[in-house]
């Protein structure tokens, strides 16, 4: 089972970008689509640029990409009407977004006008127009879409958007009724055994059951062993232990009896009520065909009307221009059925054309019809390289650009090899998170007190390249609460106190509960060498937990293993780092059922704060709301901020023309104008 005595820690230094926020920007606007075939005097010795990256997830579809490394590639394939400049402000790019206020029955609506540039083409030769942006909106709004922007429909206040999503203009009363029903029937206190068992079976024990009766729960420990140890040997003897359905039913009985407090049937049934409602609405015919607040004006213009002010409304609608003719039409409610067919062959209108993904290498060629101009570099490869080999690769010429971890040793090596680098504040932060579905709150708080952050971070980065932060938000945002103080200090006595509050008792030198020792499995992405700013912290926690009577097992693995555990819900604890955090809107991360809510936190007060933040124009008031919101996150003990670091971007000046390397800042790097970069 996934319970408090089995914690898996996923550790990564640079992780997922917030979907919907286009990274980067330009310091000047372009006047219109230009010919990509102008002649110029450029005959470099080198013809291919090799960019080092970490492990790809392989989701090269703009609607499903979550990994920073997949997105790094897609940023060169697709464009949007606007993008972020060096000051983290939206400016025009492949179009424009303007707005005006509109009074409707005493309320102030905001109407955005979006234009896309004329003359742009996708790399298959088809013309780009406003329908390709509208296609993106309808993907995000589809109830059958499950990608990272799947909460767009329920978190964005576009007129008629929720009517479309629920396929019912009178949805609000019904949805409110579902909340009431769930409160009355499906909380831990109120749920019936029958409903609880049904939930466990329907979700395969919340994803823990593998479906193989002969499989192992742990090394040399089978499902049958587990059932026997949990006190159900007689029931096991009475069934066919090779029958998957029979074993799952018995395991559900075991979990309900022994660990009922550690699952979340409430969220499952609330979501199911809403999903069944939508399915039923669509089965009897589509009642809401369009989103009334989104209006196509002409081939290159549309308007989007919001019910009220949203400080990030323009960013919410700054969608990618995705070729609707290529990704294909879909029946309402079945977006996934159509779009998941194509995860490996994206087509866009950006500066580069995707060629292939093979053997951990992505290959792209220049889009010579790119509207800003023909790229100088004709061939680009993104190649997987371990962190420990990045500087070696730059030295020996196998890679040309890399993002090594900024450290004194790395700087010394680069300087000695006469390689160039830039240092900028990272618009992201490192953090440790815990899956609230799997881990009791008191245990979460106890674990927070076992992580000694500062020696680990400073031992890896030194004192100038990173610093410990106290709230889970990048300090590059103006709204970060600078006055915040430490919420959980390193204190083994307090950790033990919380473990005892969770029901663990020290027996014969071991922390025991229901016959099981507190045991924590930790997964860390340190290249199998402990090469990570959090690794020393884990080693110390391992020693401390052992002294308290628990067990911590550290596994140093590849990112693909980490991501699978996190996305599959089998990771009880994970350490990641957000990148491309360009706004203070944390809705997708912390809101109940948010598209990137990997901690599975569900807190009504937190949800209300998140909704208020994006509607609060006054800076001081918004900053206070954010401070309050982050305090709730800390109190829930689902996320422990670790560090704010510097980004290092290193390159080989023998290959890359230094004069073409842009001035680098937090929100502006070579990636934002890769098409202008030149080789020697």
What confidence tens digit (pLDDT) does each residue in 408-433 have? 889 999 999 999 999 989 889 999 88
Give 5 or 431, the one with higher predicted confidence: 431
CATH of the domain at 584: 3.10.105.10
Compute the average pLDDT of residues 92-107: 96
Same-domain status, 205 and 242 = yes
- E strand residue ranges, 54-116: 82-84, 90-92, 95-104, 107-116
In this structure, are 290 and 279 located in the same domain?
no
Residue 126 lies in a domain: yes
Report yes or no on 490 lying in a domain: yes
Closest CA to 156 of 320, 314, 324, 330: 314
* pLDDT recorded at residue 498: 98
Tell me what the mean pLDDT of segment 582-610 comes to.
91
Predicted pLDDT of residue 264: 87
Which tens digits make up the pLDDT trace of 361-387?
Answer: 999 999 999 999 999 999 999 999 998
Does residue 209 register a pLDDT over 80? Answer: yes
Q: Convert the pLDDT of each residue in 472-529 to its tens digit.
A: 999 999 899 999 999 999 999 999 999 999 999 999 999 999 999 998 887 777 778 8
- Asked whether the beta carbons of 675 and 353 are under 8 A apart, the reply is no
Asked if residue 658 is part of any domain, the answer here is no
123 and 257 co-located in one domain = no
Are 213 and 271 within one domain?
yes
Tell whether 534 is covered by a domain: yes
Residues paired with 103 in a beta bridge: 108
Print the domain residue range for 247. 185-283
Look at residue 612 in the predicted model and tell me its pLDDT. Answer: 93
What average pLDDT does range 81-95 have in this prediction?
Answer: 94
Task: Report CA 490 to chain centroid distance, whole Å.
Answer: 28
Predicted local confidence at residue 354, as pLDDT: 98
pLDDT band at 217 (very low <50, low <70, confident <90, very high): confident
Residue 93 has pLDDT above 50, yes or no: yes
Kindly list the distances between the CA atom of residue 100 and the CA atoms of 90, 110, 158, 555, 641, in Å, as whole numbers in the listed order: 17, 6, 14, 54, 39
Cβ neighbors of 129 (< 8 A, separation 6 or more) are 116, 299, 300
Check whether 7 has a pLDDT greater than 60. no
**Mean pLDDT score of the chain:** 90
For the whole model, what pTM was predicted?
0.75
**13 — pLDDT class (breaks 50, 70, 90):** very low
Q: How far, in Å, CA of 543 to CA of 570, rounded?
A: 24
Q: What is the DSSP letter of 17?
A: B
Q: What's the average model confidence in pLDDT over 439-450?
A: 95
Which one of 237, 255, 283 terminates a domain?
A: 283
Q: How far apart are the first and last CA of the chain?
A: 57
- Residues 332 and 195 both lie in one domain: no
Do both 275 and 301 map to the same domain? no
**Which helix (H) or strand (E) is 516 found in, with range?**
strand 516-517
- Residue 562's pLDDT is 79
**Residue 393 confidence class, pLDDT cut points 50, 70, 90:** very high
What tokens appear for 150 in the block? Answer: 């799947």
Model pLDDT for residues 102-133, shown as the tens digit of each residue = 999 999 999 999 999 999 999 999 999 999 99
Q: Are 260 and 196 in contact (CB under 8 A)?
A: yes
- For the cut 80, the answer to whether the pLDDT of residue 19 exceeds it is no
* Spatial contact of 300 and 129, defined as CB atoms under 8 Å apart: yes
**pLDDT tops 90 at residue 282:** yes
pLDDT of residue 657: 97
Counts of helices then strands in the chain (DSSP H, E): 24, 24
The total of other beta-carbon atoms located within 10 Å of residue 566's CB is 22
Q: Among residues of the chain, what percentage have pLDDT more than 90? A: 75
The structural domain count of the chain equals 3
Pair (600, 536) in one structural domain = yes
Q: Cα–Cα distance between 43 and 129 in angstroms, integer?
A: 34
| 89 and 100 together in one domain | yes
Identify the CA nearest to 345 among candidates 364, 359, 372. 364
Q: Are residues 584 and 472 in the same domain?
A: yes
Say whether 454 sits in a helix, a strand or coil.
helix
Residue 513 lies in a domain: no
Q: Does residue 1 surpass a pLDDT of 80?
A: no
Per-residue pLDDT reduced to its tens digit, 607-652? 999 999 988 888 899 999 999 999 999 999 999 999 999 989 999 9
Write out the DSSP string of 586-641: -HHHHSTT-TT-TT----HHHHHHHHHHTT--SHHHHHHHHHHHHHHHHHHTSEEE
Question: Has residue 35 got a pLDDT over 60?
Answer: no
Average pLDDT over residues 524-535: 82
DSSP string, 186-216: SSTTT--HHHHHHHHHHTHHHHT--S-TTSE
Is the pLDDT score of 245 beyond 70? yes
* Alpha carbon distances (Å) from 400 to 356, 495, 553, 654, 672: 20, 46, 37, 9, 17
* C-beta neighbour count of 101 within 10 angstroms: 9
Residues 125 and 162 in one domain: yes
Query: Is residue 396 one of the residues assigned to a domain?
Result: no
Q: What is the CATH number of the domain that holds 98?
A: 3.90.76.10
Assigned domain for 413 exists? no
Task: Determine the Cα–Cα distance for residues 365 and 347; give it in Å rounded to an integer.
Answer: 12
Domain boundary among 349, 369, 385: 349
Q: Would you call 568 helix, strand, or coil by DSSP?
A: helix
- Residue 635 has which token pair? 């109190």
Residue 569 pLDDT more than 90? no
Of the candidates 283, 306, 321, which is a domain's last residue?
A: 283
For residue 21, being part of any structural domain is answered with no
Instruction: Please tell me whether residues 276 and 294 are part of one structural domain.
Output: no
Token pair of 514, please? Answer: 């229901």
536 with 632, same domain: the answer is yes
């Amino acid at each position: 089972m996934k319970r408090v005595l089995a914690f898996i820690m996923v550790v990564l230094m640079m992780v997922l970008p917030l979907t919907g926020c286009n990274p980067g920007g330009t310091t000047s606007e372009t006047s219109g689509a230009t010919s990509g075939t102008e002649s110029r005097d450029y005959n470099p010795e080198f013809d291919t640029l090799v960019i080092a990256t970490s492990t790809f997830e392989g989701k090269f579809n703009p609607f499903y990409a979550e990994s920073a490394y997949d997105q790094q590639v897609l940023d060169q394939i697709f464009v949007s009407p606007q993008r972020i400049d060096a000051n983290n402000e939206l400016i025009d790019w492949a179009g424009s977004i303007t707005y005006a206020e509109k009074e409707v029955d005493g309320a102030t609506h905001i109407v955005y006008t979006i234009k896309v540039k004329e003359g742009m083409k996708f790399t298959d030769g088809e013309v780009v127009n406003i329908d390709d942006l509208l296609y993106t909106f309808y993907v995000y709004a589809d109830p059958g879409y499950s990608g990272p922007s799947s909460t767009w429909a329920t978190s964005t206040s576009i007129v008629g958007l929720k009517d479309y999503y629920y396929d019912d203009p009178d949805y609000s009363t019904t949805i409110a009724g579902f909340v009431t029903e769930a409160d009355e029937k499906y909380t831990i206190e109120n749920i019936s055994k029958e409903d609880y068992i049904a939930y466990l079976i329907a979700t395969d024990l919340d994803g823990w059951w593998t479906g193989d009766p002969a499989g192992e729960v742990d090394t040399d420990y089978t499902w049958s062993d587990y059932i026997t140890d949990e006190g159900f040997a007689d029931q096991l003897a009475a069934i066919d232990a090779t029958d998957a359905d029979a074993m799952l039913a018995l395991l559900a009985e075991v979990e309900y009896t022994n660990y009922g407090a550690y699952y979340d049937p409430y969220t499952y049934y609330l979501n199911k009520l809403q999903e069944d409602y939508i399915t039923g609405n669509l089965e009897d015919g589509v009642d809401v065909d369009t989103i009334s607040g989104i209006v196509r004006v002409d081939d290159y213009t549309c308007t989007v009307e919001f019910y009220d002010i949203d400080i990030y409304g323009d960013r919410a609608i700054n969608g990618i221009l995705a070729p609707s003719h290529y990704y294909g039409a879909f029946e309402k409610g079945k977006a996934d059925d159509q779009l998941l067919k194509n995860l490996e062959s994206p087509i866009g209108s950006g500066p580069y054309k995707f060629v292939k993904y093979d053997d951990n290498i992505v290959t792209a060629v220049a889009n010579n019809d790119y509207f800003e101009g023909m790229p100088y570099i004709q061939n680009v490869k993104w190649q997987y390289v371990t962190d420990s080999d990045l500087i070696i690769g730059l030295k020996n010429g196998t890679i040309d650009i890399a993002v090594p971890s900024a450290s004194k040793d790395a700087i010394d090596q680069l300087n000695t090899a006469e390689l160039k680098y830039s240092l900028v504040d990272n618009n992201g932060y490192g953090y440790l998170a815990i899956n609230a579905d799997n881990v009791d709150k008191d245990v979460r708080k106890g674990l927070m007190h076992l992580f000694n952050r500062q020696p680990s971070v400073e031992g890896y980065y030194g004192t100038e390249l990173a610093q410990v932060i106290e709230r889970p938000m990048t300090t590059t945002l103006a709204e970060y609460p600078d006055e915040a103080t430490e919420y959980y200090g390193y204190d083994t006595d307090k950790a033990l106190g919380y473990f005892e509050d969770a029901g663990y008792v020290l027996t014969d030198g071991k922390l025991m509960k229901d016959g099981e020792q507190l045991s924590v499995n930790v997964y860390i992405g340190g290249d199998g060498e402990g090469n990570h700013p959090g690794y020393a912290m884990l080693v110390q926690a391992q020693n401390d937990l052992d002294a308290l009577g628990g067990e911590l097992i550290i596994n140093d693995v590849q990112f693909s293993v980490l991501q699978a555990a996190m996305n599959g819900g089998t990771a009880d604890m994970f350490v990641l780092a957000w990148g491309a955090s360009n706004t203070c809107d944390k809705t997708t991360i912390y809101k109940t059922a948010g598209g990137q809510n990997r901690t599975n936190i569900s807190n009504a007060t937190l949800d209300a704060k998140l909704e208020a933040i994006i509607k609060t124009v006054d800076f001081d008031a918004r900053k206070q709301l954010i401070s309050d919101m982050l305090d709730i996150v800390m109190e829930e003990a689902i996320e422990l901020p670790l560090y704010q670091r510097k980004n290092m971007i290193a390159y080989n000046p023998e290959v890359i023309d230094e004069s073409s390397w842009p001035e680098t800042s937090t929100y502006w790097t070579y990636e934002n104008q890769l098409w202008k970069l030149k080789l020697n």
